[in-house]
Amino acid sequence: DIVMTQSPDSLAVSLGERATINCKASQSLLHTSTNKDYLAWYVQKAGQPPKLLLYWASTRESGVPDRISGSGSGADFTLTISSVQPEDVAVYYCQQFYTSPLTFGGGTKVEIK
Amino acid sequence: EVQLLESGGDLVQPGRSLRLSCAASGFNFGDYAMHWVRQIQGKGLEWVAGITWNSDSIGYGDSVKGRFTISRDNAKNLLFLEAKSLRVEDTALYYCGKGSGRRSFEWRPVDYWGQGTPVTVSS
């Protein structure tokens, strides 16, 4: 199984500052036939189900603000919130959909400092 | 509007069985893969099972393989999860999710989620 490791477990950021979350896969998620990384990011706010933010490592789902971006390829990925807003307080998860079983990272909790 | 409504969650004793259902609406159910994802209270997400649009490919998480069975009824827009030999560690909120990518034979991320149905396994 592909193991997804996120870091840090939590971070506190001042309003307007940058937040960076890392996600490392135990093997490459780059599919050679499509040249795409099979990596998604989700956000889960308190009391709500998760919501898809990004897929193919960097493609934003409809409605996701452009202050949220994804980067990386192969086995190392990053989610960046360029200017943290109050509504960004949540837990963020990465997930690989390269192969079954699909696996999630452990989550990163973002708080306001 | 895409809607996913899970049901069937309950309090059951260890070793017993449970059948979860997910009623889908607002999209062409038969064209999309579907997933079950669970979350222990206060913890992270765990992919339980997935089934492609035509049931051609089915996958399970390691912790439920051999005990849980995912299935679907495209005529009735329903997704199911048959959970047998339930364990205390299966206690969680079970989410139904729609896979993105119409008629894809590849696994794709979940782009819509239900609100979840709670399963508690306890004696």
Tens digit of pLDDT for each residue in A68-77? 999 999 999 9
Q: Residue A16: is it exposed, middle or buried by C-beta count within 10 angstroms (0-12/13-18/19+)?
A: exposed
pLDDT (0 to 100) of residue B102:
83
Percent of chain A with pLDDT over 90: 100
Please, are residues B23 and B5 in contact by the beta-carbon 8 Å criterion?
A: yes
pLDDT in tens, A38-64: 999 999 999 999 999 999 999 999 999
pLDDT (0 to 100) of residue A99:
95
Please, are residues A25 and A39 in contact by the beta-carbon 8 Å criterion?
A: yes
Please, are residues A70 and A42 in contact by the beta-carbon 8 Å criterion?
A: no
Please, are residues A5 and A103 in contact by the beta-carbon 8 Å criterion?
A: no
Cα distance between the two ends of chain A: 36
B95 touches chain A (CB under 8 A): yes
User: Measured between beta carbons, which residues in chain A are less than 8 angstroms from residue B115?
Assistant: 49
Q: What is the mean pLDDT of residues A6-35?
A: 97
Distance in Å, alpha carbon of B44 to nearest chain A alpha carbon:
6
**Token duo for residue B115:** 């609100």
Size of interface A-B (CB pairs under 8 A): 62
Q: What is the mean pLDDT of residues A10-17?
A: 97
pLDDT (0 to 100) of residue A79:
98
pLDDT (0 to 100) of residue B103:
84
Please say whether the dihedral angle defined by the alpha carbons of residues B108, B109, B111 and B114, taken in this order, is positive or negative.
positive
Q: Is it the case that residue A86 has pLDDT exceeding 90?
A: yes
pLDDT (0 to 100) of residue B105:
75
**How high is the mean pLDDT of chain A?**
97
Q: Which stretches in chain B have pLDDT values below 70?
A: none
Put simply, the answer to whether B47 touches A104 (Cβ < 8 Å) is: yes
